Amino acid sequence: MLRRASAAVLTFVVFLFSLTITLAEDADPYAQIRPLLDEKTAVLVYDAGGEKVDVVRAGGVITRELGRTAEPLEVKLGFFSDIMGSLNAMTPYQDEAATLWAVLIKPVIGDLTGIERLGIVPGTKLSGFTFGALVSKKSPKRPAFLIDDFALFYAPSVDMMGRALATDKSMLTGGIVIGNAKYPAGYGALRMAQPEMQDVTFFVPGAVMYEGEAAGETLLKSRLAEGPVSVLHITTHSSIKPGSDENSKLLLTGGGGDDGNLTVAEVGAMTIDVDLVTISADRAGLTWGGSGGFPGAFLTAGAASVVAPLYTIDKGMTANMMNFFYTYLPENDKAEALRLAQKMIIDFEKDKGRFRFAHPAFWASFVLYGSYK
Query: How do the domains of the chain map onto residue ranges?
Result: 34-165, 175-370
Q: Of 197, 178, 321, nearest to 252 (Cα)?
A: 178
Classify 117 in phi/psi space as left (phi over 0), alpha (psi -120 to 50) or beta.
beta
In the prediction, which pLDDT does 13 show?
43
CB neighbours of residue 101 within 10 Å: 22
What is the CATH T-level fold of the domain 34-165, as seen in this structure? Nucleotidyltransferase; domain 5 (3.30.420)
In the prediction, which pLDDT does 169 show?
65
In the prediction, which pLDDT does 284 show?
97
What is the CATH T-level fold of the domain 175-370, as seen in this structure? Rossmann fold (3.40.50)
Distance CA 370, CA 182 (A): 31
In the prediction, which pLDDT does 6 show?
52
Residue 329 contacts by C-beta under 8 Å, 6 or more apart in sequence?
172, 203, 337
Structure-derived torsion over alpha carbons of residues 25, 27, 33, 34, reported in degrees to the nearest 10:
-120
φ, ψ dihedrals at 85, nearest 5°:
-95, 5
DSSP 224-279: HHTS-EEEEEEE--EE--TT-TTT-EEE-B-BTTB-SEEEHHHHHT----EEEEEE
Would you give per-residue pLDDT tens digits along the chain (373 residues)? 444 545 454 454 444 444 444 434 457 899 999 999 999 999 999 998 889 999 999 999 999 999 988 888 888 888 888 877 666 667 888 988 999 999 999 999 999 999 999 999 998 889 889 999 999 999 988 999 999 999 999 999 999 999 999 987 666 778 999 999 999 988 998 989 999 999 999 999 999 999 999 999 999 999 999 989 999 999 999 999 999 999 999 999 999 999 999 999 999 999 999 999 999 999 999 998 877 899 999 999 999 999 999 999 988 899 999 999 999 999 999 999 999 999 999 999 888 888 888 989 899 999 999 999 9
Distance CA 87, CA 309 (A): 17
Chain centre to alpha carbon of residue 294: 10
